Amino acid sequence: GAGVSQTPSNKVTEKGKYVELRCDPISGHTALYWYRQSLGQGPEFLIYFQGTGAADDSGLPNDRFFAVRPEGSVSTLKIQRTERGDSAVYLCASSVLGGGAYEQYFGPGTRLTVT
Amino acid sequence: AQKITQTQPGMFVQEKEAVTLDCTYDTSDQSYGLFWYKQPSSGEMIFLIYQGSYDEQNATEGRYSLNFQKARKSANLVISASQLGDSAMYFCAMRERDSSASKIIFGSGTRLSIRP
């Protein structure tokens, strides 16, 4: 079946602009996660959704970052007034609502470059 | 606060040899899960293996095994009979409150290079 998809795969924007990154999870996966991966680092947690609501947004770095999942499927990560430090690969993952061996399935990521 | 430490930034191993990638963790939770993910140069994150904190046996998945030493808070990944395709970044990760879905905290990774 189809995996997690993310669009666009690459995004170049100017400092100060607004960007939206989209994630389409695996069908039936209720949990959706956003991570940010800087060059040479491990993914860093941003936010996690259970259904339509954000269950944990403790990783969002500041109020320029916001994410929605209005119908409990597709999610959009929104970044306002982008800064050069926002440049990274933004990864989306989805999973069933359960712990244990239920791993998170990752998408290919969106590479964001802020010039 | 939970933390994952991977002290080996890079490793070189001869093809067909076994390799151990180190991982230590810190958590105050009794219930947690440990994961290893592989990230090839193409960028996708590939799940390799999972170990629950209450599992008494070390997890194994094909050529991958997880050497879980709970008292030492270590969860090393062992790859037997390494192959050229094993060259990649490897991330150790942990999920607290393992009974339900929640965020995963990743280590900084180890870059493994397999020599022919």
- pLDDT exceeding 70 applies to what percent of chain B? 99
Q: Does A5 touch chain B (CB under 8 A)?
A: no
Please give the Cα distance from A20 to B96 (Å, whole number).
30
Q: What does the DSSP assignment read for B57-93?
A: SPPEETTEEEEEETTTTEEEEEESS--GGG-EEEEEE
CA distance A115 to B33: 39
| Range 85-104 of B in CB contact (< 8 A) with A | 91, 93, 95, 97-104
The whole-number average pLDDT for the span A40-56 is 93
What is the rounded distance in angstroms from the CA atom of residue A22 to the CA atom of residue A68?
10
Query: Per-residue pLDDT for B101 more than 80?
Result: no
Strand A110-114 versus strand A10-13 pairing type:
parallel
Give contacts of B108 with chain A, Cβ < 8 Å.
41-42
**Could B99 and A106 be called an inter-chain contact, meaning their C-beta atoms sit closer than 8 Å?**
no
Evaluate if residue A1 carries a pLDDT over 80: no
Nearest CB among B43, B97, B109 relative to A109 is that of B43
Nearest C-alpha neighbor of A87 from the set A53, A33, A36, A51: A36
Sort out which chain B residues have CB atoms less than 8 A from A96's CB and list them.
Answer: 101
Indicate the range of A92-101, B46-55, B61-70 predicted with least confidence.
A92-101
